[in-house]
Amino acid sequence: MPSLPDRRSQGNRNPKLPEISIKVMEDFIENDYETVKNKTASAVHGALTAACEELGIVTPSLKSFLVALKARPKYEQLLKREGQRKAYSREPIYLELDSTTQRHGDRPFEICHIDHTELDLEMICSRTGPNLGRPWLTLLVDAFSRRILAVYITYDPPSYRSCMMVLRICVRRHGRLPQTIVTDGGKEFASVYFQSLLAAYECTRKTRPPAKARFGSVVERLFGTAVTRHIVSWGCRQGIL
């Protein structure tokens, strides 16, 4: 039985240029194109052509030179050629927040994170005695200052109510909403009510890629700190844990 042709693997995909030509081209890109002189691609390619003819090696075509330029990191390239102000639009956005992540954003309230966790505590009613269950903690964390802007605790599982309540607490405490809110792919963040609230106040929502979810929550470190250092320690001081 004949097999289906694998079109994707057909053809010669190895580099056609010699290694010395690729090395010289990369050297011109780094030291002549990606500089504050902001030369055009055609001008740098002309200098590259003259250098290759002088060395007696194969000259990369203009098309190959442009392909190599596009393969370079855009943020670093713009930063070297046109400065920080121009490269700001290409600056990578950090969608995870941990102890090793550098500050991102130019000011507080520009980028904030919302997430939930179920506390490792079971609450007992002091009057009637029944077990009330484990509460859920919702945090709104500022990515620039790492400050916890709002806290909401409820016995209900995460829903649009938890998201809207933590934003309400933020407005009540600070008098404003974040400009950009980073969330995971939970269905509570995709609700009509939550999306309408953000649209009404011109807030931008960014969703972390689904593949990142297995590595933990964006505020996992803050959840652990809040539970172990504050909630548990407070319960021990009160004699209830």
Q: Is the pLDDT of residue 132 over 90?
A: no
Q: How confident is the model at residue 165 (pLDDT cuts 50, 70, 90)?
A: very high
Over pLDDT 70: what percentage of the chain? 77
Can you name the residues that pair with 205 across neighbouring β-strands?
A: 181
Q: Are 152 and 165 in contact (CB under 8 A)?
A: yes
What is residue 28's predicted lDDT score, i.e. its pLDDT? 93
pLDDT tens profile 172-183: 999 999 999 988
Report CA-CA distances (Å) from 78 to 28, 36, 63, 66, 87.
16, 10, 20, 15, 5
Ordered by where they begin, the domains of the chain are: 17-90 (1.10.10), 111-238 (3.30.420.10)
pTM of the complete model: 0.53
DSSP string, 195-220: HHHHHHTT-EEEE--GGGGGG--TTH
